[in-house]
Amino acid sequence: MPISMYQASLPVLIRGLTNLQVILGKAEAHAAAKQIEPTVFTTGRLAPDMLPLTRQVYIASDTAKGCAARLAGVEAPKYEDVEQTFEELIARLQKTIDYLKEFNAEQIDGSEERAITLKLRSGPVEFTGQSYLLGFVLPNFYFHVTTAYDILRHNGVDLGKLDYLGGIK
């Protein structure tokens, strides 16, 4: 049986966002247990020219909500990108998960050939729904979730592969 656009998108994104919530929660607990100022983690970067943890979370969230909206042919909600604390970042992820759960398979399935135009700094990029999901959304989403994980792991938060993967299903 072929996999549908819905199956390949929203449940996958929800799982990644949920796992990122757990990772952020572990970082918050680690900071409290070790009496480390949480901004050490939330402003942390892997390299000077990379974005900090907060921006990694913003982009993962924006990528997920943008995916759902574009595949369904609706306007995505705009978030202000003001979250700074672990609690606020986790709440933003929950807001995004709740938004994704508003969609059903009928709204997403059949979007394989939908024309999608992204307006990037370098100019507009044209996709079909399927090329957008598989060639842009999923790699971009996992890049930012992985980078958030790596920033925290690099800074001593006790995380392992199963924290990233979540429950094995």
What CATH number did the domain enclosing 145 receive?
1.20.120.450
* Residue 123, phi then psi, degrees to nearest 5: 125, 175
pLDDT band at 2 (very low <50, low <70, confident <90, very high): confident
CB 63 within 8 A of CB 140: yes
The rounded Cα 94 to chain-centroid distance in angstroms is: 11
The average pLDDT across 137-148 equals: 98
Residue-wise pLDDT tens digits, 91-140: 999 999 999 999 999 999 999 999 999 998 999 999 999 999 999 999 99
pLDDT at 161: 93
* Residue 62, phi then psi, degrees to nearest 5: -65, -40
Report the domain count for the chain: 1
Would you say residue 1 has pLDDT above 80? no
User: Which residue is it, tokens 């949480």?
Assistant: 38
Residue-wise pLDDT tens digits, 6-47: 999 999 999 999 999 999 999 999 999 999 999 999 999 999
pLDDT at 129: 98
pLDDT band at 69 (very low <50, low <70, confident <90, very high): very high
Domain that holds residue 37: 5-165
pLDDT at 146: 98
pLDDT at 34: 97
